[in-house]
Amino acid sequence: MLKYYIPITEVQINSIKPFRINLYKDKICENHPNTDIIKVNWDNAEEEIQKLDIWLPFGITKTRKGLQLFFHDYLFKNVKQWKEDLDIEIKTSWREYKPSLKEIMPESFKIVLQLPAGQTERFASKSGTGISGDQIQGLYLNIRYEEGELYCITGTALKFFTLDKALEVQWDESVREFFRSRQIPCTQEGVN
C-alpha cells in the first residue's frame, strides 16, 4: 500500500545547533524511504555541496587562511573563518504523514448520480404508482457539500407533466432506506 512520507533534514556544523533545510521532496511509496547521512569534511566540502545541487543557507569557500562559511540571514551576511576541523553532517529522517479528511476535502463540491435505466425500470414496476420505466427520464440523487455540511437531495424527471407526487415520495423513501441499510445517519429537511 502506498504511503505519504515527509522528510525532515537537519544540518549540523561542528557544535553549532542543527538547523533544518529542504533537501528532499515529499515521497509517495510503499516502503519507508531511507537516506544516508551525508558527511562533509574539510577536504570534500565544496564538492559535496555542489554534488547535492541544493541551496543551503550557507556557502563554503576554501581560502589560504582556512575555510570560510557564509551564513545568509534576512538582512546581512555573517562570515565565519574556520581554521579548526570542519564536520558537517546532513541527516534526513522520514515520517509518515496521514492527512486528515479536512485537509484533502475541497471546500465544496456537487455530484449528481442517476439511477441506471435497468434499475429505473425495476423501481417503477415496484413503486405501484402506475408510471412505467419508459415514462421516467431519470431518478437522481444530488450530493452537495458546502460549509462542512453534506446534503443529499433527491430528484425525479418524467417525460410528461403530472401533479401526482407519488413517484417522488417513493424515490425519497427508497433513498432513505438505502442510507439506513448502510447505517449512514441522515435527517430529513424541507418536507411539507
pLDDT tens readout for residues 39-67: 776 666 667 666 665 555 555 555 555 55
User: C-alpha cell of 17?
Assistant: 545547533
pLDDT per position as a tens digit, 66-97:
555 555 554 445 555 555 566 778 788 888 88
Closest to 45 measured CA to CA, from 31, 33, 56? 56
Angle between helices 166-181 and 117-127 (to 10 degrees): 110
114-123 — which CB contacts under 8 Å span 24+ positions? 114/138, 114/139, 114/140, 115/139, 115/140, 115/141, 123/170, 123/171, 123/174
* Residue whose grid cell is 435505466: 117
Torsion of CA 11, 13, 16, 17, to 10 degrees: 10
Lowest model confidence (mean pLDDT) among 25-34, 78-87, 137-146:
78-87
**Is residue 80 within 8 Å of 68, Cβ to Cβ?**
yes
User: C-alpha cell of 45?
Assistant: 566540502
